Amino acid sequence: MSAQPGFITFEGVEGSGKSTQLYLLSRAFQAAGAPVQVTREPGGTPLAEKLRALVLADTDGGVDPRCELFLYLAARHDHVTRLVRPALAAGRWVLCDRFADATVAYQGFGRELDPEAVARLAWWGHGLRPELTLLLDLPVADGLARVAARGEANRLDREAEAFHLRVRDGYRQIAKAEPDRVVPIDATDDVATVHARIVDAVRARFGNRLPEGLAPSAEARP
Ligand code: TMP
């Protein structure tokens, strides 16, 4: 078992490849014999998955931006207390698809609520900060084209391009403000290349805390 597991989050605009990359990194950890917990936000616990379905569903008359914000926050608190903290305490590495930065980028910048106020709420109370946040960055139009090709767009995916441009800009501002935690990853290349960049970033951040032999997953080969 790793002596001290880490909490790693994946962020990015729609269609940035987070879920694929998170899966590949989890396979790399597993291949090196490290216990790993894969999870996502909103979601990860029974209640948070119900909140996810609510907040991403189309609702007659739309959703008030502050109501949306509080649904994401509610889901986060259940997720952190019931899943993330227990997993870390049990010695598992936690790889999470989105976390508090998504609230700042989407509700603060995308919805144009006050980003500083949203950031205070997004980080308040749960006391958890990822040691490494991988920001998968690519042009909004490219990401939205990938989502359209998948054909599974949700309420937020279908927001206007201007919304997604604000989200990307928000993420970039966060990365600039916290360069020690947030590492931008160029996500425009093929899956294997992006995966190799991510493994490098993980090695650089965690060094000898990582399981011996952590290497890019064989599943990423083209
Ligand atoms: P996903 O598509 O990456 O699974 O994320 C679900 C959607 O929820 C995505 O459009 C981003 C959005 N989101 C927020 O707006 N605020 C948040 O705090 C989180 C975690 C996600």
Categorize the per-residue pLDDT at 3 as very low, low, confident or very high, splitting at 50, 70 and 90: low
CATH number for the domain that contains residue 152: 3.40.50.300
How many structural domains comprise the chain?
Answer: 1
Residue 100 CA to ligand 1 centre (angstroms): 10
pLDDT digits (tens, 9 = 90+) for 46-81: 999 999 999 999 999 999 999 999 999 999 999 999
Pocket test for ligand 1, best of 10, 18, 98 (most atoms within 8 A of CB): 98
Write the pLDDT tens digit of every residue in 107-119: 999 999 999 999 9
Residue 192 has pLDDT above 50, yes or no: yes
Whether residue 160 lies inside any domain: the answer is: yes
Task: Tell me whether residue 103 is in a domain.
Answer: yes
Residue 60 covered by a domain: no
User: Does a structural domain hold residue 214?
Assistant: no
Buried b (16+ CB within 10 A) or exposed e, 184-205: bbebeeebeebbbbbbebbeeb
Is 0.95 topped by the overall pTM?
yes
Atom of ligand 1 nearest to the CA of 72: 18
Strand boundaries in 89-205, DSSP class E: 93-97, 132-137, 182-186
With the C-alpha atoms ordered 212, 213, 217, 218, is the resulting torsion angle positive or negative? negative
In a domain, 131, yes or no: yes
| pLDDT value of residue 67 | 97
- The strand pair at 93-97 and 132-137 is best described as unpaired
Mean pLDDT of the chain: 95
Q: Which residue range(s) make up the domain with 108? A: 7-41+88-209
Please give the backbone phi and psi of residue 180, each rounded to the nearest 5 degrees, phi first: -75, -25
Pocket (CB within 6 angstroms of ligand 1): 14, 40-42, 72, 97-98, 102-103, 106-107, 156-157
42 upstream amide cis, omega within 30 of 0: yes
Is 188 part of any domain?
Answer: yes
**In the predicted model, is pLDDT for residue 174 greater than 50?**
yes
